[in-house]
């Protein structure tokens, strides 16, 4: 028997990255800076894609969706953490914790799926260039994104709902800056066998499927590039994939790193710090990776800022 009362609506406390009061202003400043950079950078990509007709293509349509998902992803966790630091409170309601879990699962799955769709888009563009406009028509692109959103939210809803059947101690302390499903299950007093089974079963289509799709797409892309006779043609074909490969490597590299570190180390604070890499750092770096290596995006951004500068000069005179 547990020496504490069991309840389905416990008080939950997020311990954050550090309990040292002197570090809280520094953590707040760092996360506020990263959050603003992430939101601003991804908003600029969305604005550039929507304002420039030359960027109304499947590749940039998927990129703008990825940017929107990244904004939503960081907004799920970082604002609540900053509010807690400012109010000197670690509390989050049971409903708020479940809401965080729901959107966390939904948006990390969407990141996964949209990266897969972007890999498929590059596969069609390089391996089947003559049929590209037919295969990747606007209807298909819209349908692919819609399917991603529907399936990811259904998966998230299902995993969040089955948590409601669990009982918890009155007070829960989560050694993290946000609510994560796995950590919440470890603190439950009820049997979590069903929840664990659901996680592992759904991991196959929602994690294994996208990873297999990305690996297959890029293996075919590499094979097609190797068959191109001219060095210039090879470079041009490969240059269209470098940004995608960089983002894929960053996303999956950090996720795998966090997973491996969690199996090796029992240091919960270390795990929380490492998880910042894919929950905050990756969404922040994505706009830089795509814009710095992309002439079309840089051109669209120059037009936006050039137009804004011209208007400011005009109104000043």
pLDDT of residue 266: 59
Tell me the C-alpha distance between 122 and 126, whole Å: 6
Report H helices in 88-131: 94-127
pLDDT of residue 192: 83
Tell me the C-alpha distance between 159 and 146, whole Å: 20
Residue 6 dihedral angles phi and psi, to the nearest 5° = -100, 145
Decide if 97 contacts 12 (C-beta within 8 A).
yes
Q: CB neighbours of 73 closer than 8 A, spacing ≥ 6?
A: 104, 107, 108, 111, 279, 283
- In the structure, what pLDDT confidence band is assigned to residue 89 with cuts at 50, 70 and 90? confident
Domain covering 6-316 in this structure, CATH number? 1.20.1070.10
Of 15-24, 43-52, 89-98, 145-154, minimum mean pLDDT range: 15-24
Cα torsion 13, 17, 21, 24 to 10°: value is: -110
pLDDT of residue 269: 65
Residue 205 buriedness (CB in 10 A; 0-12 / 13-18 / 19+): exposed
Average pLDDT for 282-302: 80
More confident call, 252 vs 29: 29
Does the pLDDT at position 39 exceed 90? yes
| Residue 173, helix vs strand vs coil | strand
Mean per-residue pLDDT of the chain: 83
- In the structure, what pLDDT confidence band is assigned to residue 265 with cuts at 50, 70 and 90? low
Query: What pTM, to 2 d.p., does this model score?
Result: 0.87
Instruction: Look at residues 64, 69, 67 and name the one whose alpha carbon lies nearest to residue 52.
Output: 64
Does the pLDDT at position 156 exceed 70? yes
Strand partners, 268: none
The domain ranges of the chain are 6-316
């Amino acid at each position: 028997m547990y020496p504490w009362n069991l309840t389905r609506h416990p008080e939950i406390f997020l311990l954050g990255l550090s309990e040292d009061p002197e570090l809280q202003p520094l953590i707040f400043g760092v996360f506020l800076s990263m959050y603003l950079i992430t939101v601003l950078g991804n908003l600029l990509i969305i604005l550039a894609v929507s304002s420039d007709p030359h960027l109304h293509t499947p590749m940039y349509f998927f990129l703008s969706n990825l940017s929107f998902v990244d904004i939503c992803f960081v907004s799920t966790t970082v604002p609540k953490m900053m509010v807690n630091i400012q109010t000197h409170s670690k509390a989050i309601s049971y409903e708020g914790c479940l809401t965080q879990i729901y959107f966390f699962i939904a948006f990390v799955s969407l990141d996964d799926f949209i990266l897969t769709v972007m890999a498929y888009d590059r596969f069609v563009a390089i391996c089947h260039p003559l049929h590209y406009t037919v295969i990747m028509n606007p209807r298909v692109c819209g349908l692919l994104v819609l399917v991603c959103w529907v399936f990811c939210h259904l998966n998230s809803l299902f995993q969040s709902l089955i948590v409601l059947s669990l009982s918890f101690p009155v007070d829960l302390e989560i050694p993290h800056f946000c609510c994560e499903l796995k950590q919440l299950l470890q603190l439950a007093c009820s049997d979590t066998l069903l929840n664990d089974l659901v996680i592992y079963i759904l991991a196959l289509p929602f994690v294994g499927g996208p990873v297999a799709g990305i690996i297959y797409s890029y293996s075919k892309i590499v094979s097609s590039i190797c068959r191109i006779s001219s060095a210039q043609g090879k470079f041009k074909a490969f240059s269209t994939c470098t940004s995608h490969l960089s983002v894929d490597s960053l996303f999956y590299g950090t996720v795998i790193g966090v997973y491996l570190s969690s199996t090796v180390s029992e240091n919960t604070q270390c795990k929380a710090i490492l998880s910042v890499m894919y929950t905050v750092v990756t969404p922040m770096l994505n706009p830089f990776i795509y814009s710095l290596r992309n002439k079309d995006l840089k051109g669209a951004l120059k037009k936006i800022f050039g137009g804004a500068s011209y208007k400011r000069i005009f109104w000043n005179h």
